[in-house]
Structure formats: structure tokens, C-alpha cells
Structure 1
Amino acid sequence: MEPEIVKDIFLQPGGFYWGENDTRIRTLLGSCVALCFWHPYSKVGGMAHIMLPKRPSHIPEPHPKYADDALESFLKQFQKLGERPGRFVCKIFGGASMFSPEEAQLEEVKRIVEIGEKNVESVLDLVRKANIDLTASNTGGKSHRKIYFSLWDGEVYMENPKN
């Protein structure tokens, strides 16, 4: 049941948010991936808006816009709670190819066309390596997604106009 007062958080690309049961996190995804975790008993959770699969070695500071750093941010939150990662519900969304087939044939575009796929592969690989079960996903396709993640019940509502 929705709380009387809801804290509404809009997560920008590269953002990370961890909150409690009175919170709804929302974002807009194209090739980016939303990684969502929720604890069914504590009713806490969060979302990362991942832009790239891995932090380049020449960038020393972690940032949740990278899949590896985003998962590490979640693992730190789990540790603060004294919880194992496997006790959280994990869901991922996004990773669309946002270019038309004609645009994708252009040499300068070819490099970035696959970024949605690479983001999804990276997140799935990291989640699997951390022994976390994925409970829901909606990835790929050719269109953006609007995601609404309610921390009071762990539900994700998704608008996806063209997939």
C-alpha cells in the first residue's frame, strides 16, 4: 500500500540512490541500465542508473555510472545493514539500442550502437559473479523506458512505448 507521503526521487544518468519504504525512485533509460535492489523485510532498496559497463583504468575514483562501481555501491549498503546480497530482490531494466538500422551502419555510430547490449551483459555478469539471483528483467529493444521503483513494496512499473 502506497504511503500517505511519498518521497519522489528522479535519478539522473550515472546516479545512485538508496532509501527507505516511503520512497519512489524513477528514471528514464535508453541504452543505460537501471539496477534495482530491494529488501522485502526491511523495505529498503535502491537504484543505480548505469551508463557504461566498466570504469576505465585511467579513472581512479569510483562512480556509479559504471556497472562495476554501481554494484560495489550496493554491496556497501548491504554490508552496512549486515545483510547478504542474496537476501535482496534484484531487477534490471534498459539497455536499448537507440539507433535506427540506417544510423547503425555509419562507422562513427557503430562503436556506440552496442553500448546497451554491453551494459546489460556487464550487469548480468557482475550480478552472477556476486551470487545474486535476478528476479526480473526487461532489457534490449529499440526504445526508451520509464521506470518507477516503489521501495514500500519493491514493485517496478515500466512504461515502454515501442518495444
Structure 2
Amino acid sequence: MQKNIDPAEGIVTYKILPGEYYVTKENERIETVLGSCISACVRDPIAGVGGMNHFMLPVDKNAKGSAELSDANRYGNYAMENLVNALLRMGARRERLEFKLFGGGRIMSSMTNIGWYNIGFAFDYVYTEGFKVVSQDIGDVYPRKVIYYPLTGRVRVRRLNAMHNQTLADQENRYIDNIGSKPVEGDVELF
């Protein structure tokens, strides 16, 4: 995760990458760039807390129960649980959480349609858990840059042009190749 101050707005900005999430109560912004990945921007407007995650794959199919419920947010099932739990620890209430979903693009026709599976997972998770989606920009063929302001809930999305597709596809493929070689670590609390 990279932290800097945006020169145009003068606001602290956290840039998250696949497998990361960030939660705040401060007047900050969170940004990421998505191809087939999904980001959920989630906030509790009353508690004044919000955050964003970024995940590459929908679920860890090799999980065998609570002994292995840790995965450093490589997969949507962990990324969503960790984001929601971090928000709850900072004072959010489940019934007030608002979800905004982004990404899941098929940025290269030669790539598998992992974005479609990510979209399906994200909506299944949100509706199974009883949350509400208040906005979305998902699917299609575009990579996206997402800038989220957790305190206000404002989101800016820029659909990137095709010249960024190959670079983003290469980054996603490297990330997928590295997932299997990284050790399972971290904790997740299911509720």
C-alpha cells in the first residue's frame, strides 16, 4: 500500500493493490486500478467509517475449514470478510453498510473471464450477507481507475483506454502466478 498526498486536492491518498484493503475514519481517499479484479467500496455513513478492498479471485477453493481461514486477501471471500470486520471494529454497524462495486472487466479477449466470476461472487456475497449495493460500475471490457472518498461515499471512476490493457493484463497474470507460491498467513474472523 502506498501513501502520498495528492497535489491537486491536498488530501492523503492510499493506493491499494490486489490483496490489500484499507479502512479509515479520516478525510482521506483510497484509489486502485482494476482489470478483472473487483473492489468493494464500503462505508457506514452514520459512524463515518469506510474502506476499500481489491481482490483478484472469487474464492479459495482449497480452504478446508477454520484452520485455513487466512489468506492475506488474495481471494474475495477473505477480502470481503476482512474489510467488513475492520469496519465493524471501527464502529460501523452491519445494517448500515453501503456497498459500491467496481471492476470485473474482460480487458483482454484472450484471457479467461475471471472478471465474470468475480462479479458473481461479489453480488452473491453482498446479497447472502444481507447488505445493499448502492452503486456499481462492473463488467464490460474496460480497465478502471477508482478513487473513493470514504467519509462522503463519493466515488470517481475513470474507464481507461485500450493502451493500458496489456500492461494491466500482464500485472494480473503475474499476480495469479504468484498466488500459489506465497504462504498462507494472516487471520480472518468470520461472523
Taking structure 1 as the reference length, what is the TM-score of the superposition?
0.83
- 8 Å Cα contact 2:49/2:92 also seen in 1: no
Partner of 1:66: 75
Q: Structure 1 residue runs of 4+, over 6 Å off?
A: none
Contact 1:5 1:22 in 2 (8 A): no
What is the Cα deviation at residue 56 of structure 1?
A: 3.1
Matched, 1:26 2:46: no
Matched, 1:121 2:120: yes
Output the CA distance in 2 between the equivalents of 1:57 and 1:69. 13
Instruction: Name stretches of at least 5 consecutive residues in structure 2 with no aligned partner.
Output: 1-8, 163-191
Alignment of 1:4-153 (within 5 A): 6-57=11-62, 60=68, 61-100=70-109, 103=110, 109=111, 113-153=112-152
Q: CA RMSD in A?
A: 2.0
Distance 1:58 1:126, change over 3 A: closer
Change (3 A) 1:84 1:44: closer
2:103 maps to amino acid: G
Instruction: List gaps (5 residues or longer) in structure 1.
Output: 104-108
Q: Alignment partner of 2:57: what SS?
A: coil
Q: 1:153 to 1:29 in 2, by over 3 A?
A: same
Counterpart-to-counterpart distance in 2, 1:92 and 1:83: 19
Are residues 8 and 83 of structure 1, via their aligned partners in 2, closer, same or farther at CA, if it must alter by over 3 Å?
closer
Q: Normalising by the residue count of structure 2, what TM-score does the alignment of the two structures yield?
A: 0.72
SS of the residue corresponding to residue 153 of structure 2 reads coil
Q: SS of 1:36's equivalent?
A: strand
Q: Secondary structure at the match of 2:99?
A: strand
1 or 2 for the larger relative contact order (CA 8 Å, sep ≥6)? Answer: 1
Q: Identity percentage over the alignment?
A: 28
**Equivalent pair of 2:42/2:150 in contact (CA under 8 Å):** no
Aligned residues: 150
Counterpart CA distance in 1 for 2:62 and 2:28 is: 35
What's the offset of the Cα at 1:21? 3.0
